[in-house]
Amino acid sequence: MTNIDWDALHAAAKAAMHLAYAPYSKYPVGAAALVSDGRLISGSNIENASYGLTLCAECALLGELIRGGGGRLVAFACVDGAGQKLVPCGRCRQLLFEHGAGTLVLDTPDGLRTIEEMLPQAFGPGHLTEIESKA
């Protein structure tokens, strides 16, 4: 956790936030993450008039992860329109868990936390493997 440039991660999240499409809520969100191969990726929320179709910043970030060749998330930061730290919602924590597992560290308003601390006893790909092996 000590070799992560959290300032650069927050700067990337803020830059992404400024690109958000949030005409309805007026609540832009930006997210950034460090990938295991050293890439820095980001995403912003993309709203839709049909609110249920809105994409969160974390979803956009994960699209960038997969589009860029995959990898594991190492560090993650998320900010609101004022540049303040945000904690991902439960749905987004589940999505981050899938691509970071227990090694992902999130910078939260309460300090650095692992994804396992943020989503204890998470359901993951290993559970599906267990089901297949019992069949």
Domain ranges of the chain: 6-134
Confidence at 130, pLDDT banded by 50, 70, 90 = low
CB 65 within 8 A of CB 35: yes
Q: What is the pLDDT of residues 67-97, one digit of tens each?
A: 999 999 999 999 999 999 999 999 999 999 9
Pairing of strands 30-35, 40-44: antiparallel
More confident residue, 101 or 42: 42
Q: How much is the average pLDDT of 26-47?
A: 97
Q: Taking residues 116-129, what's their average pLDDT?
A: 85
Residue 8 — pLDDT band, cuts 50, 70, 90? very high
Rounded-to-integer distance, Cα 82 and Cα 9, Å: 16
Q: Say which of 58, 117, 130, 132 is annotated catalytic.
A: 58
The whole-number pLDDT of residue 124 equals 81
pTM, rounded to two decimals: 0.91
d(C-alpha 132, C-alpha 93), whole Å: 25
Provide the CATH number for the domain formed by 6-134 in this structure.
3.40.140.10
Better pLDDT: 51 or 20: 20
| pLDDT for 132 | 64
Q: Is-contact 104 73, C-beta < 8 A?
A: yes
Catalytic annotation on 58? Answer: yes
